[in-house]
A = this chain, B = another copy of it.
Amino acid sequence: MATIIDVASLAGVSTSTVSHVLNETRHVEPETKERVMHAVKATGYRRDVLARSMRRARTDSIGLVVSDAGEPAFADMVHGVEEAAAQNGLSLLLANSAEDPARENSAVEALLDRRVDGLILARAAGSHAGLLQRIREEQKPLVLLDRLADLDGQDTVDQVGVNNHAAMKSLVEHLTAQGHRRILLVSGDLRVSSLRERYDGFLTAMQAQGLDAQDALLCEGTATAAASFDRVRPLLADPAERPTAILACSTLLAAGALRAVQREGLRVPGDIAFATFDGFTYSDLFQPQITTVRQPAFQLGESAVSLLLRRLDKPSAPPQVLRLESRIEFRLSTGTTS
């Protein structure tokens, strides 16, 4: 491989000049510049990214750690991040914590070791409190994605998520407008900020409708489809007691709850209404057609990169919290009996 020395000697200039031409970092006589560019072509020279990064503050790469690479919503976020990164000439280093805080920590350390210019994190449930502190002490630009930090009023970190409260409010209003009073919320692991927000939003919205928490059935802490199934099924047994609507806070939880509904021989929406966050692919093609709060996952990823670029540009700018709007796809599962 040709080095900058080869180019310099072929062009009859110093390596400084070659470097400055390549980086456009100081004025070079047009004629000299052209000689350099010719030498670059002739030698097939390609700048060594590693050597370059070692000298500069930047590596032109960013790191992304997601909590569950297997979930479609996160896959879409990854997609969005990749797209935006590539468009800005940044390479993307991807890691998956699989909801394991220890893996999350080592993934972050590996990325810090590789000197990524910045980090985007969709943290694991139960993410270690020290992690953000650690990244801060490394002074590494950071953007939280989807799973945000509750920084007691202080926005000390850039974040982008969806407006869970608003979406939940619309959903609850939609259900109560149709007479539903006993609504089962399958809320999942409340250490996850997005799930916590949906949970809080639910309670607030119910209260606003004059329904207190007594009216609500709450399944907290369920983290898997199997757990969701196990928790939901017993609640459906007694026709007099059972909820008239189920609201699942993630795809996994929805899958478990829906299976419970089917195992109990109930029909959606005939016997029970059903809605979910995130949801299933191509919902409109299948029965039951399920009302779904669809996150703009791809855009979340893109926005995370935007925030990061802004932070790289202006390290001291005030932190920004972005809330994108989810779109609610109303379908027959919460409509009148078909």
Contact = CB atoms under 8 A, between A and B. Distances in A.
Interface of A: 46-51, 53-54, 59, 61, 69-70, 72, 75-76, 78-79, 82-83, 86, 91-96, 98, 103, 107, 110-111, 113-115, 251, 255, 258-259, 262, 280-282, 285-288, 298
Number of copies of chain A assembled together: 2
A70 B59 contact: no
A333 to B, nearest CB: 11
A24 B118 CA distance: 31
Contacts of A298: 70
Contacts of A92: 93-95
A107 B115 CA distance: 20
B78 A94 contact: yes
Contacts of A103: 86
A49 to B, nearest CB: 5
Contact of A86 (B48, B50, B107): B107
A311 B93 CA distance: 22
Among A51, A59, A258, A285, which residue has the most Cβ atoms of chain B within 10 A?
A: A285
Contacts of A59: 50
A61 B59 CA distance: 14
A134 to B, nearest CB: 12
A140 B46 CA distance: 16
A54 B51 CA distance: 7
Contact of A72 (B50, B72, B91, B258): B72
A114 B94 contact: no
B82 A95 contact: yes
A113 B49 contact: yes
A53 B49 CA distance: 11
28 contacts: A46-B113, A47-B113, A50-B54, A50-B59, A51-B54, A61-B93, A69-B78, A69-B82, A70-B75, A70-B298, A72-B75, A75-B78, A78-B78, A78-B94, A82-B94, A82-B95, A86-B95, A91-B95, A91-B111, A91-B114, A92-B94, A93-B93, A93-B94, A262-B285, A280-B280, A280-B282, A280-B285, A280-B286
